[in-house]
């Protein structure tokens, strides 16, 4: 699985086996879970739902740094590093059922008796660092139209679990919107809307709605995003993700 797309799921499955060591907490959609003005006193495991780590600026749009979903932990950076990052917070992207592990529990019984859980947490952090590297390179070398193209390519790869889909036509039942893309790129919604219109005018995509992403020419989308297309492209098969 490629984790260039900033949504992480299922990377810490073993934490679900020690929920008796944690306290259950429920958050409705849109709730503030972690205010990074105050360091966390532990880490959260997501049993159900998704959370956004969002960056707020004084003069610009909201930027979602990344999203963490079912089967992952979050809050580890705030818990185990010093200082605060008050410009970022964690919000419930959907209704969430979480389990909170106190810092002393992680450093005590989990470190002694379940060290593989710490390896899973380190692996998640490795994926996040890799994602930051990819996105930093994109932001330095691509304009916003190319970045919209690239994020759609990343999304297709993430949904299909295939680092190089070779089919020309791709139809995905989507759970990401144009507003979500804008937040992930840190741009205004109108910037994404213009890019999507340009892709439609070029015949690259047919539809991009709240529930569906219909791509007519995936290899063309790759080229516009600066990727090298696969030489063995198939012409007509439609994939459903």
Which candidate, 230, 240, 53, 66, places its Cα nearest to that of 156?
Answer: 240
Whole-Å CA distances, 95 to 27, 31, 47, 50, 179: 6, 9, 11, 8, 19
Fold that domain 143-240 belongs to in CATH:
Arc Repressor Mutant, subunit A (1.10.10)
Contact 189, 63 (CB under 8 A): no
User: Which pLDDT belongs to residue 240?
Assistant: 39
What's the pLDDT tens digit per position in 4-51? 678 889 999 999 999 999 999 999 999 999 886 676 789 999 999 999
Residues shown for the chain:
241
Distance CA 77, CA 174 (A): 30
Q: 3-class secondary structure for 189-215?
A: HHHHHHHHHHHHHCCCEEEECCCEEEE
User: Which pLDDT belongs to residue 6?
Assistant: 80
Which candidate, 161, 141, 121, places its Cα nearest to that of 227?
Answer: 141
Whole-Å CA distances, 146 to 31, 167, 185, 202: 33, 21, 11, 14
Q: Where are the domains of the chain?
A: 7-139, 143-240
User: Which pLDDT belongs to residue 76?
Assistant: 87
User: Which pLDDT belongs to residue 166?
Assistant: 64
- The first and second tokens of residue 158, run together, are 């993430």
Distance CA 111, CA 107 (A): 5
User: Which pLDDT belongs to residue 200?
Assistant: 96
φ, ψ of residue 186 in degrees (nearest 5):
75, 35
Distance CA 93, CA 51 (A): 5
Number of helices and strands in the chain (H, E): 8, 13
Helix segments in 55-177, DSSP class H: 76-80, 103-105, 111-113, 115-141, 144-160
**Residue showing tokens 């139809």:** 171
User: Which pLDDT belongs to residue 84?
Assistant: 57
Q: pTM of this prediction? A: 0.70
Contact 72, 8 (CB under 8 A): yes
> pLDDT truncated to tens, each residue of the chain (241 aa)?
454 678 889 999 999 999 999 999 999 999 999 886 676 789 999 999 999 988 766 555 667 888 899 999 998 887 887 655 555 789 999 999 999 999 999 999 999 999 999 999 999 998 888 888 877 777 777 788 998 998 898 888 888 876 566 668 888 887 788 988 988 887 888 999 999 999 999 999 999 998 899 999 999 999 998 887 554 443 333 343 4
Q: Which SS3 state, helix, strand or coil, does residue 38 take?
A: coil
Superfamily of domain 7-139: Jelly Rolls (2.60.120.10)
- Kind and range of the H or E run holding 23: strand 23-27
User: Which pLDDT belongs to residue 87?
Assistant: 58
């Amino acid at each position: 699985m490629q984790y260039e797309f900033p949504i992480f799921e299922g990377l810490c499955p073993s934490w679900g086996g020690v929920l008796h060591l944690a306290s259950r907490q429920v958050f409705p959609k849109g709730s503030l879970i972690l205010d990074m003005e105050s360091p966390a006193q532990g880490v959260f495991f997501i049993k159900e739902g998704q959370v956004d780590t969002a960056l707020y600026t004084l003069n610009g749009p909201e930027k979602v740094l990344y999203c963490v979903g079912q089967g992952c932990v979050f809050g580890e950076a705030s818990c185990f590093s010093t200082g605060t990052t008050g410009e970022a917070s964690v919000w419930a992207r959907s209704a969430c059922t979480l389990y909170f592990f106190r810092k002393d529990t992680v450093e005590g019984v989990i470190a002694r008796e379940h060290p593989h859980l710490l390896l899973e947490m380190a692996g998640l952090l490795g994926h996040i660092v890799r994602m930051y590297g990819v996105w930093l390179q994109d932001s330095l070398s691509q304009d916003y139209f190319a970045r919209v193209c690239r994020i759609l390519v990343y999304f297709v790869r993430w949904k299909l679990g295939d680092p190089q889909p070779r089919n020309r036509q791709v139809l995905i039942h989507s759970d990401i919107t144009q507003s979500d893309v804008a937040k992930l790129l840190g741009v205004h919604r109108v910037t994404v809307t213009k890019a999507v219109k340009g892709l439609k005018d070029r015949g690259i995509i047919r539809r991009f709605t709240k529930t569906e992403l219909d791509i007519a020419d995936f290899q063309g989308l790759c080229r516009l995003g600066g990727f090298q297309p696969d030489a063995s492209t198939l012409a007509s098969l439609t994939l459903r993700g």
